[in-house]
Structure formats: structure tokens, C-alpha cells
Amino acid sequence: RAVHLSDYQPFTHIVRDVALTFRLAPRATRVSATLRLAPNPARPGHHDLRLDGENLRLLSLRLDGQPLDLTPDATGLTIPAALLPSAPFTLHTEVEISPETNTALEGLYMSRGMYCTQCEAEGFRKITFYPDRPDVMAPFRVRIESDLPVLLSNGNPAGQGAGWAEWVDPWPKPAYLFALVAGDLVAHSAPFTTASGRAVALNIWVRPGDQDRCAYAMDSLIRSMRWDETAYGREYDLDVFNIVAVDDFNMGAMENKGLNIFNSKFVLASPETATDDDFARIEAIIAHEYFHNWTGNRITCRDWFQLCLKEGLTVFRDQQFSGDMRSHAVKRIEDVLLLRARQFREDGGPLAHPVRPDSYVEINNFYTATVYEKGAEVIGMLKRLVGDDGYARALDLYFTRHDGDAATIEDWLAVFQDATGRDLTQFKRWYTEAGTPRVKVWEDWDGETYTLTFEQENPPTPGQPEKGAKVIPVALGLLNPNGDEVLPTTVLELTETRQSFRFPAAARPVPSILRGFSAPVILDREVSPEERAFLLAHDTDPFNRWEAGRALAKDLLARMVTDGASPGPDWLDAVARVTFDDTLDPAFRALALRLPGEDDMAATLHGAGITPDPARIWSERRRMAEALARHLGPRLPALIDALAEPGPFTPDARAAGRRALRIAALSLMSRLDGGRAAATAYRAANNMTEEVGALVCLLENGLGQEELRLFETRWSADRNVMDKWFALQIAHAHPDQAVATTDRLTRHPAFDWKNPNRFRSVIGALSANHAGFHHASGGGYRLVADWLLRLDPLNPQTAARMSTAFETWPRYDADRRALVAAELARMAATPGLSRDLGEMVGRMRGA
């Protein structure tokens, strides 16, 4: 049942073009398809034609006009070679499908009266019989017949009338980029002219009433289009670019050619309804989907094993964009926080897989942090190794050489080799081997020479017991004891298991290692609190400055958990200095004030050979916050006042950074004043950032019930805002109450569990409440498993995705491991479990 990379073969036929007609009806949509096909010279011989197709009622099938009497099987239709000409031919099919009952939200489905599609990775086969694989590319012509006022598909408009519209997409594309939308929609529009003078009509389509929440997404789109022209020389290539916001969506958004479809939470924003984090995410996702037009659409993937070819690169590009729009230092810290929280977690557990996997059962299970985020890190390392110029030359070559191709990671590496002359044979291991390398460091100084010795260890992962040394770029700086930089950032290239580097040094330097987090590795090094505090105060690299503070806090919290230590002046004073240092960016100070997360702490303890106790991590982290609050307390009110933003809300990074620091200060204040300041701030808030920020401060202290009621009354009609209401009270519930709170909210009339956003904001929020989910009672595990089993028959993709809540089970004690094992066994034994959830559960059980 698994698909293997090594089995790849080109498709037997080529598709010259596709014409589709949709006659839309909720339970009986007719799709007729005309495919002009020809034998593929890359597959010599006379072959059967196999078309994918699932849940399709075949109404008619004709080959060059002649009816064929063939019956499809459960996954498609085979036309035997004996019936096929050896010359080009035309195949016509008509099928009936039922969008209204499509609860999987894959293929053509309905969301609150609107038709929409999601075809990546393999949804097109639920629309019509077709070779549903990314290396089959063709131009599409689409006719939509419906009484709904707005009818959209890919490409350029090619005519419309009463009850119909036609679209032509001149760019050959794989079926996964197909899209169709029909509904009662209104557009927020803007014009754009590309660098070479092409006029493009930009439209963001939303439900009537939402059009005043599109301005930020539109502004982000225009900035993205301009940025791709200047940073990568990439222009847009159609006359229109449409974005549609949909409420029922399994993921964030989708880059369909000329017709991006978005989860509405990543489009709609106003100061009253969206937080600063929402604004930043909207900007990043709009950019990400737009950037796919070149990295994904013009150059696509040969097969789904190459997914990181488009996703890693597009994430890397959206990270660069956000850095340019905001702050590179802050963006890098946020990206690394996410990488560690999601990807390191995945890479260290039973779901670990290479950036380019070599087998899968269900490809939807591989849209992971490893493919996306580690995929982006690998590109960042490549860029560091070949330099900015080398990277620019390689990318230019990639676009000229592969435009119109369905390419591979080998193609990608070849453009770097050809453009820079660098041999990437060893580097390629980053794509083929899973696991987070651990790098140990030793120092030696003999009075003249300073020596750094590195040793890398590449831990075993499922199916990969042994692996070779990686190429690890370690960005290094050296400071002298006065805090002056004596060696500016230099990239050391680790290529062997053990390696030493020597530097002349008249005084013992303080090293700043892995600046900018130059490689996705775990650095293992004994460092004194004094040295960490020194780097927090003096490092010239902003990432490592933050990292020093982070490490200081993590070392302390680990000691609090394991031997009852208490916060002392080394950490408290260091944090105080950063918090009140007005020369530093408030966003950076807010990040420096953020305590290590509980899950992160559990992973770190496990990595150090200590079994983490979630309840104890929770209570010690709380004690840490309280100590910090007492230490900073006297100066907090002045800081909170000084950071108040007069005037109307603006979503820019500067204002957002000030709000973030203000809320961080308010959170500490709330541990001292019984929530008075937060309650006042809640009532004074004129934007969602402060409204949510103040509410969280209250919830963290067991307060806020009155505010939750006010919030619900005010926002009950707004789905995206109500998702926050559900999520916050679960995510910030006391560990002993998290399960009961979740259970209660699943009975709330607004808990529409078939809506993925709502499901995630309730069940996902419990999974993210570390001490609540891992409660010793096992109630968290049971409730999440119950709901996954309930969702699975309707929406296997989202159920499977959310099952990753269980991926960390090997870290915990025997009792918890047994509880998780029982839930995984219960899921595995459920009759009719989907392929999606079945694969995930199997991998987590080590099957």
C-alpha cells in the first residue's frame, strides 16, 4: 500500500489539453471532460491508460467519439491498450459528483452555500477521471454553468453570460493546481502593473459584509508581487489574480494558478478582529501562496516525494520577505521558535522522516514541519555555503533551466553545483536523512591559540538506524572579555564527525556559536550562566543574543524542575536589563521576556536523559514567572504606560512590537495585582491584540470569567473571532481543568466540529495545553482520541493531522506511555479507520 520514490516512471501518455464543463448542483454536479491525449515518447511501448478517479459516477465514456463500455474500480479507470490507438486521441468522460455531501473538503465541496475546490495533493481525482500526478501538465479550458453570480477558475476570463462563465489557463499545469469557485461573493479589487508593464486585475473575493476586512491582505499581495520582481526577478504572468476566502478549509491556503484559495482566517483582518500575530501571518501566507506562482506552479514537482522542492523554497522565500518587511532579527527568532516547537519535535519522535521522504502511504500526511520548515532551513544553509551571489546565480539558472518543468531535488542541487562549482554530494544528506543532528563543542585555549572542537552525532530515526556526517555550516563570532568582537561572523564548515578549528588569541575569547541559527541542529555545550549573561549583554548577533537569554532561562527552569533550584540574580538581572533597555527593539525585548514553553522544556529534559513531569514543568514555570514578576514589578507600571500607543491602530511591525512588550509586561503585572491592570486593559482595548492579550493575562491567573462572557456576547456572530474565544480558554486553562473545560465547550451550541478551524480551536487547543493534555488521569489523551475517531470518517485529512498530538509519547513516564499506547491501540483497532489516520497511528505505534 505504500508508494516508493524508487518506483517512479513517467506517465504512459501526455495530455495535450483539457476542456472541462461543470454544471453545478449541490448533490448532482455534472463534470464533462475532454482530454486530448497521446502516447508519451518517454515511455516506449503500447500501454494501458490508467486514469485516477474516486467517488465518481461515470455517466459516459467515449474515445474519439466512440462509446466505450468500461467499469471503473474503486480508485480509477483502466482503458486497455488494445482499445487505444498508437496515435493521438481524444477521450471524453462525463461524471456526476456531490459537492454538498463532501465532508472531507477535498475535491469539489461546498462551504456555506459556496462551491470551492482543494486539489492538492490528490483531490482532482474526486472531480473527474484524470492522471492525477504532478508531472502530467496541460493547459486547461473551463466552462462553469450555475446561477450563482460569481464563477471563477484558473487563468484568464474567456467570456461570460447569464448563468455561465469560461476561463482559459494558458500555462500548462498539473491537476493539483486546478481550482473552481462559485458563490455569492464580492470583490475587494486593486490594479497592479508588473515591472514589464502587464496590467493585472487583483481581486480578493469574500462574502458580502466582509469586503472591509480585505485591505491588509491586498496590501500584502501588492508588496509580495513587487518584492518577487526585485528580489528574484519574477513577474506575474496572467491578466488577473484572484484570491477567495473560504470558511471551511483543511489547511492555511492553496496556490492554485491564478486563483488562490485561502482559509478565511488568513485573509480577513481588521484592527478590531485580528491580532498583530494574525496580521503577520496574513502577510506571510499571502506572500507564500503568491511566491508559489514561480516556485511551485511555473516549476512544479515531478512527484510528491519532491514536495520540499516547492514548499521548502517557498517558505524560505516568504521568510526572506517577512524579514524585509519587518525585522530580520525578530523574524529569525520567531522562525527558530517554530522550527524547534514543531520540526525538532517531529524529527525526534516516531514520525521523523527526511525532508525528501522515500515512501508514503498517504501523501497528505507529509505536509509537515520537516518538509516545510526544515526544507527552508536546508535552503538557508545552502545559501550560506555558496554565498549570496552564488545563491542568486543558482536561482537564475533554476528559473531559466526548469521553467515549465516538473523537477526534482537532484535538478535543484544541480543548478547550485553548475552555478557555483560546489560539490553537493554530501550536502544532499540533509534531504535524504531524517533526525536533528546534535553538535557537541569543546574549547581549549593555550595562551596563544584558541581551539574549538566539534563532534556531530546523527541519531537513528525510524527506518534509518545509521547515517553519515552532515555538512553543517556553523556561523561563529568571537568576543574578547571586554565584549568587543575580535572575530566577526565566519562560517566554519563541519563535514566530518569530529573536527577542530584554531584561532590565534592572546586572551581567552568568548565564542558566539551558530549565529543566526546557521544550521538546524541541537548545540550541546556546557556554558556557565555568567557566559550566557555576557552574550545576552554583548553579542553583536541578535539571534545569539536572544538565544543566550533563552538558554539561561532553560538551564534555570531545568534546575528548578530537577533539583528545586530557585531563580537567582544572574537570570533575573539579565532579563531586567533587556526588558528596560530602550535602545533595543521592543519586539526583541518581548521575545526575550517570553519564558521557555512547557513542551520545549519536556523535549529538552528528555534529551538530557530526564523523564519530564508535565505537572511539575507547569508549576515550576509558573514559579519562574512569579519570581520574574516580583523582580521587575516596581518598574512594570511605568513600562506599561510608556508603551501605550496613542492614536489609531496600525498593524506595522513597530507598533506591533510595542504592543507585544506591553502585553508581556501586563502578563507579569497580572501575577502581582490580582488582575486589576489586565481587567482595565481589557475594557480599554480598541483592538483585538490588546483584547486577547489582556484576556490571556486574566485566564492565566484563573480569572477572566466575566470578560469571557463579554467577549462572547460581543463576537458571537464572527466565526474567526469566536475561534479565539474557544481556543484561549482551553489553551490557558489550569492543567486540572483543561479536559473538563474542553469537554464543556464541545457541548457549546457554536461548537461546529465539522468546521476544521473550530475543531482545531477546541481539540487542537487541548493538545497544545501541555500539562492539560498530558494530565496523569489520561483524560486528555482519551478526549482527543475520541474526537479524532469521530472526525475521521468525515474528514480524515484533518483528523490525521491532529493526531500528531500523540507523537511525543516516548518522552514520558511508563504510566503516560501506557495510557497513550492504549489510545493508539484503540484508534488502530477501529473498523474503517481512514488510510490517513491509519498511517499516522501505525507510525506512532512503531508499526
Site residues (vs ligand ARG, CB under 6 A): 120-121, 251, 253-255, 288-289, 311, 364, 367
Enter the C-alpha cell of residue 90: 481524444
Query: Between 14 and 406, whose beta carbon lies closer to Zn ion?
Result: 406
CB of 335 to ligand ARG, least distance (A): 16
Query: Between 12 and 118, whose beta carbon lies closer to ligand ARG?
Result: 118
Residue 121: contacted member of Zn ion, ligand ARG, none (CB under 5 to 8 Å, by partner type): ligand ARG
Q: Quick check: 10 and 40 in contact, CB under 8 A?
A: yes
Rg (CA), the chain: 27
Enter the C-alpha cell of residue 478: 568571537
Query: Between 121 and 476, whose beta carbon lies closer to ligand ARG?
Result: 121
For residue 444, what are the CA distances in angstroms to 448, 504, 538? 10, 12, 22
Q: Quick check: 436 and 521 in contact, CB under 8 A?
A: yes
CB of 360 to ligand ARG, least distance (A): 12
Q: Out of 94, 289, 334, 598, pick the active-site residue.
A: 289
Residue 807: contacted member of ligand ARG, Zn ion, none (CB under 5 to 8 Å, by partner type): none
Residue 251: contacted member of Zn ion, ligand ARG, none (CB under 5 to 8 Å, by partner type): ligand ARG
What are the DSSP calls for 750-780, one per residue? T--TTSHHHHIIIIIHHHH-HHHHT-TTSHH
Enter the C-alpha cell of residue 685: 482595548
Cα–Cα distance between 396 and 181 in angstroms, integer?
A: 34
Cα–Cα distance between 745 and 752 in angstroms, integer?
A: 11
CB of 545 to ligand ARG, least distance (A): 32
CB of 344 to Zn ion, least distance (A): 21
Query: Between 228 and 311, whose beta carbon lies closer to ligand ARG?
Result: 311
CB of 217 to Zn ion, least distance (A): 17
Q: Could you give the angle at the alpha carbon of 800 between the alpha carbons of 795 and 801, nearest 5°?
A: 105
- # chain residues binding Zn ion, by CB under 5 A: 2
CB of 666 to ligand ARG, least distance (A): 35
Cα–Cα distance between 418 and 110 in angstroms, integer?
A: 47
Residue 642's contacts (CB-CB under 8 Å, 6 or more residues apart) are none
Cα–Cα distance between 436 and 433 in angstroms, integer?
A: 9
CB of 322 to ligand ARG, least distance (A): 15
Helix H or strand E encompassing 23: strand 13-23
Cβ count near 169 (within 10 Å): 25
Q: Quick check: 800 and 837 in contact, CB under 8 A?
A: yes
CB of 253 to Zn ion, least distance (A): 8
Phi first, then psi: what are they for 692, rounded to 5°?
A: -70, -40
Q: Which residue is nearest to ligand ARG (CB)?
A: 367
Chain residues 292-331 in contact with Zn ion, contact rule CB under 5 A: 311, 314
CB of 287 to Zn ion, least distance (A): 11
Query: Between 314 and 604, whose beta carbon lies closer to ligand ARG?
Result: 314
Residue 366's contacts (CB-CB under 8 Å, 6 or more residues apart) are 304, 307, 353, 357, 360
CB of 479 to ligand ARG, least distance (A): 40
Query: Between 52 and 311, whose beta carbon lies closer to Zn ion?
Result: 311
CB of 600 to ligand ARG, least distance (A): 25
Cβ count near 367 (within 10 Å): 19
* Helix locations, 188-269, DSSP H: 215-232
Q: Quick check: 213 and 270 in contact, CB under 8 A?
A: yes
CB of 281 to ligand ARG, least distance (A): 13
Enter the C-alpha cell of residue 373: 520548515
Cα–Cα distance between 594 and 615 in angstroms, integer?
A: 20
**Distance between terminal CA atoms of the chain?**
14
CA atoms within 13 A on the CB side of 311: 21
Residue 254: contacted member of Zn ion, ligand ARG, none (CB under 5 to 8 Å, by partner type): ligand ARG
β-strand partners of 479: 485, 510
Q: Quick check: 109 and 117 in contact, CB under 8 A?
A: yes
Q: Which of helix, strand or coil describes residue 746?
A: coil
For residue 402, what are the CA distances in angstroms to 61, 241, 379? 36, 23, 18
- Dmax over Cα atoms in the chain, in whole Å? 89
For residue 379, what are the CA distances in angstroms to 271, 624, 655? 35, 37, 31
Closest CA to 411 of 333, 306, 498: 306
Query: Between 261 and 560, whose beta carbon lies closer to Zn ion?
Result: 261
Cα–Cα distance between 504 and 491 in angstroms, integer?
A: 17
Cα–Cα distance between 564 and 400 in angstroms, integer?
A: 61
For residue 835, what are the CA distances in angstroms to 101, 198, 831? 20, 46, 12
Query: Between 293 and 670, whose beta carbon lies closer to ligand ARG?
Result: 293
Residue 253: contacted member of Zn ion, ligand ARG, none (CB under 5 to 8 Å, by partner type): ligand ARG
Query: Between 3 and 750, whose beta carbon lies closer to ligand ARG?
Result: 3
Q: Quick check: 597 and 643 in contact, CB under 8 A?
A: no
Query: Between 284 and 721, whose beta carbon lies closer to ligand ARG?
Result: 284
The question of whether 289 is a catalytic residue gets the answer yes
Query: Between 120 and 807, whose beta carbon lies closer to ligand ARG?
Result: 120
Query: Between 120 and 347, whose beta carbon lies closer to Zn ion?
Result: 120
Q: Which of helix, strand or coil describes residue 118?
A: strand
Residue 313: contacted member of Zn ion, ligand ARG, none (CB under 5 to 8 Å, by partner type): none
CB of 266 to Zn ion, least distance (A): 12
* Look-up of cell digits 560539490: 423
Helix H or strand E encompassing 246: strand 240-246
Query: Between 372 and 682, whose beta carbon lies closer to ligand ARG?
Result: 372
Cα–Cα distance between 776 and 613 in angstroms, integer?
A: 9
Site residues (CB under 5 A) for Zn ion? 311, 314
Query: Which residues are tagged catalytic?
Result: 289
